[in-house]
Structure 1
Amino acid sequence: MKTLPTLFVSHGAPTLSIEDIPAREFLKGLGSRYPEVSAVLCISAHWNTKNPEVTAVEKPETIHDFYGFPEELYTIKYPVKGEPELAERTADLINKAGFSCDIDGQRGLDHGAWVPTRLMYPKADVPVVQLSIQSHLDPKRHYLLGKAIEELNHEGVLILGSGGAVHPLGYAPLGPGARTDDWAMDFDKWLTDAVTRGDVEQLENYSQLAPYPQRAHPYPDHFMPLLVALGAAGSGARGKIIHHSWYWGDLGMAAYEFNSDKK
């Protein structure tokens, strides 16, 4: 089976599902790039647990974990299947790497998972399993969490980190027509440079080394999925930018594909 790359996408606001913007059009075409995929393992910024957890639900519900958005969004259902066997395989790999991974047999898919995968696979014909983040842990641990699941790339599983390249929720005013600030563009440029060089040290220490990290990511949750995706790509992995746009002013919507030189 062909070894797959790993991905990081920015899912923006839930309205990405219905707004005619470049990031939505990009995601609508992304799934067709990887016809070999048998399942998606999505690391969403919106599932934060004490220890790593994976979902093992055969028919996961569509979770509308957001407030104050158009009513249309709350009627969206994504009837995709889960894959309990993949959940068990993922948990086994993580446990063998020295983490403690639990299996959740009830949780559905939050919008960090179903918004991008619904656009990528609108026929709901590719199973989706979620892996949680732990925002109380440091970035290095998330990189190592990714390395723990690297074998899945050889098994037809598309590892998809879903967060935000620039996600200043709680810092910058966001909304239609807002301008993109210079500090956001500076962080975005730094991030793309570090990703394309595969600079693990820079990315793990982004909060000290990047320009304006506390503005770009007031909370670490939307950055952690990128580190998991990078780690899962394997040693020596580098990223390439496959999409770039801005949304609501300072929401950076960049997406990256990671490949290891050894693959």
Structure 2
Amino acid sequence: MILVTGATGTIGSHVVRLLTERGVPFRAMSRRERPGGVRADFEDPASLAAAVAGVDSVFLVTVPPVPTADHDLALLTAARAAGVRKIVKLSAIGSGERFEGATVGAWHLAAEEAIEAGGFVWTMLRPPSFASNLLWHRALVQAGEPIPDLTGDSRQAVVDPRDVAAVAVAALTGDAHDGRRYDLTGPELLTFAEQAAILERVLGRPVRTTDAGALDGLPAGMRTGIGWARSGGAAYVTDHVPRVLGRPAGTFERWARDHREAFTAGASNP
């Protein structure tokens, strides 16, 4: 039995789809009651205990409003008590790197270290920016308004979330990826403006960007991560996706073409 946390999110929803297609037993965890799923909250230990009961492996995704390892640690406490064997954690690229006196992805690193210390079999997935992050700006694109650019001239190997989910499923359903850290990148380095230009070409309508300016309003952990990316820290491509999946990593343009309708006026939430 596999527990999928964040089952309705960007990566978790694709993991659920892939496991369903393969007929693999799983339990989908979310904060709201959903048919066929389990309701649990990272701040409710009793609900976590129920969620992990009888579970062999966990796909661990936490998205706290302010960066903290607390939610990861709460799940790990319940998992250890329940005898869970394997954790596949969605982390982030650069976690543990130092930048301007701070640690990039400090909360992810703390969770990774707790997983290793907890005696679990583990796989750490460290993607950069998701191609799907452009969906956050869908309303601006539809309105013809510029979308905020947080990373300027720096480049990242933007990854298709479907590839991240496919690697997660490979790690959850086999042992070939145990004890591995994967930097799951796309096949090409792109600036945010270059992503917008590709989306513009796909949509056949202008997609403009604007400098987001200072990061003062963001939590410290997010400022560190974005600053590290702005400095070029994430400007590299790996072969981890093709090595695991046996096929090339998806391009940003392919993702944009597959999700073209999501950016058209009147589109429902994808």
TM-score computed with the length of structure 1 as normaliser: 0.29
User: Larger % of strand: which?
Assistant: 1
Q: Which structure has the higher relative contact order (CA within 8 Å, separation 6+)? A: 1
Point out the structure with max Rg over C-alpha: 2
TM-score computed with the length of structure 2 as normaliser: 0.28
